[in-house]
Amino acid sequence: MDPNARPAQLDSPVVAQVIKLGSRLNTRLYRATRGKLGGTWRVGAALKKPTPVCLLTTVGRKSGQERTVPLLYLRDGGSIILVASQGGLPKNPDWYYNVRDEPRVRIQTGGDELPYRARIADDAERADLWPRLVELYADFDTYAAWTDRQIPVVICEPA
């Protein structure tokens, strides 16, 4: 087995359902506690080095309804940097397509929810940010090895 290959069990429909339910629970806990619960990720590479979590709210490109997902993030001055890794799956996450089509988003960090304008990092920006993102959460490099796509980096600037 290729050590860089994505474990097949991660692609199980059961795992996808567990992840979806976990995401919903994390969002509810985060909102209810203003990030005291659900505000850090402590799985995989983050077990010993907890990683901050924000809530990204987008407008669904098909439904027109608001969608909120918990995501790891990196602060870069006033901007928030997000990674559309989706655990190294072959396709980008739905939220990525939502921000690509409608860049006006809201991001909650702790108890603060603010408007941002999202944009996809260009190649130079991505090259600059990627090492910092991997330093934040080393599993991003693992996810990149599991997929043929280039994992997008999204820059959210204050609106």
Name the phi and psi angles at 109, rounded to 5.
-125, 120
Name the phi and psi angles at 32, rounded to 5.
-65, -30
92/84 Cα distance (integer angstroms): 6
Determine the pLDDT at residue 1.
45
Q: Taking the chain (159 residues) in consecutive chunks of 10 residues, what is each chunk's mean pLDDT?
A: 67 80 94 95 81 97 96 97 92 95 98 97 98 96 92 98
Q: Does residue 2 form part of some domain?
A: no
Q: Does residue 145 form part of some domain?
A: yes
Q: Does residue 129 form part of some domain?
A: yes
Determine the pLDDT at residue 57.
98
Q: Does residue 57 form part of some domain?
A: yes
Q: Does residue 1 form part of some domain?
A: no
Domain of 42, CATH number, reads 2.30.110.10
Determine the pLDDT at residue 89.
84
Determine the pLDDT at residue 4.
64
Determine the pLDDT at residue 3.
54
Q: Does residue 113 form part of some domain?
A: yes
pTM of the shown model: 0.91
Q: Are 155 and 81 in contact (CB under 8 A)?
A: yes
What's the token pair of residue 127? 């090259």
- Domains identified in the chain, total number: 1
Domain that holds residue 54: 8-158
